[in-house]
Amino acid sequence: MDIARTPASPDGNPEMADAAFEPKAPPEIQRSDYTPFAWLIPTIRMEFDLGLDKTRVVTRLDVERNPDADASPTIRLNGDSLELVSITCDGGDCAGHMMDGDDLVVTLEGERHTLEIVTELDPSDNSQLMGLYASNGMLCTQCEAEGFRRITFFPDRPDVLSTYTVRMSGPKAQFPVLLCNGNRTDAGEEGGTHWAEWQDPWPKPSYLFALVAGDLVARTDSFTTASGRKVELNVWVRDGDLDRTEHAMESLKRSMKWDEETFGREYDLDLFNIVAVSDFNMGAMENKGLNIFNTKYVLADPDTATDGDYDGIEGVIGHEYFHNWSGNRITCRDWFQLSLKEGFTVLRDQLFSQDMGSAPVKRIEDVRVLRGVQFPEDSGPLAHPIRPDSYREISNFYTATIYNKGAEVIRMMRTMAGEERFRRGTDLYFDRHDGEAATCEDFVKSIEDGTGMDLTQFRRWYSQAGTPKVRVDLEHTGNSATLKLSQTIPATPGQPNKKPMPIPLKVALFDRQSGENTGEELVVLDQDSAIFTFDGFLQKPVLSINRTFSAPVSIERDVSRDDLVFLAAQDDDPFARYEAMQELMTGYLVGAVTGDLDDAGCKTARGDIAQAMKSVIEDDRLEDLMRGELMSMPSQAYIAEQMLVVDPGRIHAEREALKADLGDRLASQFHALYDRVEGLPFSLDAHAKGARKVKTLVLSYAAASDPAKAAELAAYQYDHSDNMTDRQGALMVLAGLDSPERTDKLQDFYNRYAGNALVIDKWFALQASSLHPDAIDHVKALRGHPDFTLKNPNRVRSLYMAFAANPSAFHAADGEGYDMIADLVLELDPINAQTAARFIPSLGRWRRIEEGRAKLMRDALERVAAAPKLSRDTFEQVTRSLG
């Protein structure tokens, strides 16, 4: 599943707060308490009589005692808000059953039985979008993590694997298309009703069950696997959207071919369906043979989708397809092992996207996400290991730590082993555990055995939370350079003391005069500290470290601006060159915010940054896609992570001042760059995408240094754009300016795309994330817009998640931004708890914020926590954030 692609203590008494809210706490589930389920359910047969307001489900479970589990006279079948119509056992009465809360508990004698359970549902009333729900006249499902229990009573846990046979029936006029997992085996009509039967031959857990019924059309194609199986491919959408599915289909075929060539994995059914749904909590879901997607990750054409949208569609389609093996054929034993499938599959989709486009740019993009979302998570109250030890609500563990850090941990194994040995390890994993519910330990042991590495100490990456900090010192004596490294891992909730972990660091040493290096080496820091010596340097070299971001750590070093300017211009590793530019700007901004740099120091630093930026702009060896990364400023979130106590207002002011200074100093170079790339015809090749990227960056620098001229240029670009990337880039800049062009183009954009939900989402997000001083008032006004609704997660995220990620507006000194998010959570929680809970982390960083704002953030959290009848999702997030 793809998640939709985030100090001094203030006054208050957290102990009293915890005591007041503890009665609401859901039970804590411990990984150490895992035991196999007492019953096996090898086969399930389901019959659905479909209707938007009433769906009747008949489920027949063949159950038998599990010889590998402790015997139990009862079987617990999980339910959630279900209406039980009837239950029978072996065709007769089932006297030995009772309700225990939402669960159905049945007493069974003997070894084998057949249970028949009848439930009735109202899909139109299911605003949580979990289980079976209605979306604009269509029926669809979302069952990960615990949605199947909202369809029927069942042991809704990932280690219960079954083969499913499903019969769906409903009004043909209303639901002309009936889809389910696996292969369709039969179909027919009876009057105005039609039916279809589906059979999935591969045992799967209930969270992978999927069903779709609606009025849909398909783009159809095929793919022939390496062994000769011809697979029918369909991308199902609503009528009118078909012409925006070509990129999705091509992405699917590229994914299938890449997985065969890179990991040796072939598809295993005769049919693969993708369905686009407009109401969806996540990005997409890998249900076996029937992937259900948020429309955002399916629909694209040049007029409505940006380059980022195209890349996102390719990556997410790849991600869900790759789950067919890393998640479906081998699934999780329990939800504590979530990173087994998600971390590994994220790495697979990252490698796929690297091969389909620019590998260095993709690597930088992935690191930027990690630093912008996961690093703050790792240093905050919600920090947890990639394999957690406990949870209260599993939906809260679909986090950047599980996905993105999980991918980085597996990438480190690949880096240490090398690509060939790592492939041997993954082949062994697939061979050993195909058809099983496995654990993270099973994966690590397979990599260990397949590569010959000893990963005993490396396993600490699975159990310890927090981002390691690596202290780096380079000394030079005679003809030798000595690299001294040490690691510390900050305390995190429940883990005050950490043990050293193996940290693989790619390093290179440059001769300052020639600009050459002696070659890249991999060093592994596996103790608290270590020393590495490099000979053959008559003068102190320039160190390039953590090249390609070989480890997810923070590097701490005293490095001169001269060395950073050198690396920004000379480093032959694209990521390290990008890193030097980021360090150069971040170091200056932190010094300016904290007052560590005086006026003279600030002036010198800005000159050095301008010099490095000029070398980037004028380097004709660079492709524009990479040039755009090197020109990009560090985000406010990343700058804040470098500080103990954060003043968001000061960071914003200093960052904008630096942007304006660079815009002034390099005006001629920026405009020459813009003129060089302006007017290229649209295509999706790297050259054209790079041109579009640097055009928007030039506009952003111009907006800070010369707003009037920027508004004029952005309006021109908007009017003459032949693609959404250029048009949205221009509108993004205009949205932050107080100019007549802003109002005119925002209105034109809305009128041009009215009725296109995904593009109107962009219209909301551009205003909510803008640098305009009145952004809060704009969000308030948009909340009352006729096109806004709390019932569609995309629309909620487009307005409020964009606002929560806008530091200058969200962190308004009077706390109005915090109150807006708290109000949203309270209103949204009864409607869609999963979406509501995802807003809490934006308030949960209060400990790192300066005292005045911190108190206001905590006040907002306490107001949410005091509300009656909070969902388990939101309750867990808010209480942990208050902690």
Report, as residue numbers or ranges, the catalytic residues. 320
Nearest to 267 by CA among 207, 356, 341, 182: 182
Q: Strand, helix or coil at 594?
A: helix
CA count, 13 A, side-chain hemisphere, 533: 6
The residues, any chain, with a CB within 8 Å of residue 127's CB and separated by 6 or more, are 133, 791, 831, 832
How far does Cα 454 stand from its chain's mean position? Answer: 31
Kindly provide the residue ranges of all beta strands, DSSP E only, lying in 110-244, ordered along the sequence: 112-121, 131-135, 138-142, 162-171, 177-180, 183-190, 193-204, 211-214, 217-224, 230-237
Please name the residue that has the structure tokens 């008559």. Answer: 538
Nearest to 831 by CA among 160, 69, 71, 130: 130
Are the C-beta atoms of residues 471 and 483 closer than 8 Å to each other? Answer: no
How far does Cα 506 stand from its chain's mean position? Answer: 26
Which residue type sits at 418? G
Q: Strand, helix or coil at 421?
A: helix
Q: Strand, helix or coil at 878?
A: helix
Nearest to 151 by CA among 71, 21, 44: 44
Neighbours of 547 (CB within 10 A): 21
The two structure tokens encoding residue 854: 């911190």
Q: What do you get for the CA distance between the two ends of the chain, in Å?
A: 29
Rounded to whole angstroms, how far apart are CA atoms 701 and 714?
12
Are the C-beta atoms of residues 26 and 875 closer than 8 Å to each other? Answer: yes
Q: DSSP readout, 29-83?
A: EEGGG----SEEEEEEEEEEE--SS-EEEEEEEEEEE-TTS---SEEEEB-SS-E
Backbone CA torsion sign across 655, 656, 662, 665: negative
Query: CA-based diameter of the chain, in Å?
Result: 92
Are the C-beta atoms of residues 641 and 376 closer than 8 Å to each other? Answer: yes
Order of strands, edge to edge, in the sheet holding 138-142?
A: 131-135, 138-142, 211-214, 177-180
The two structure tokens encoding residue 613: 């930026």
Are the C-beta atoms of residues 41 and 157 closer than 8 Å to each other? Answer: no
Are the C-beta atoms of residues 138 and 74 closer than 8 Å to each other? Answer: no
DSSP 770: -
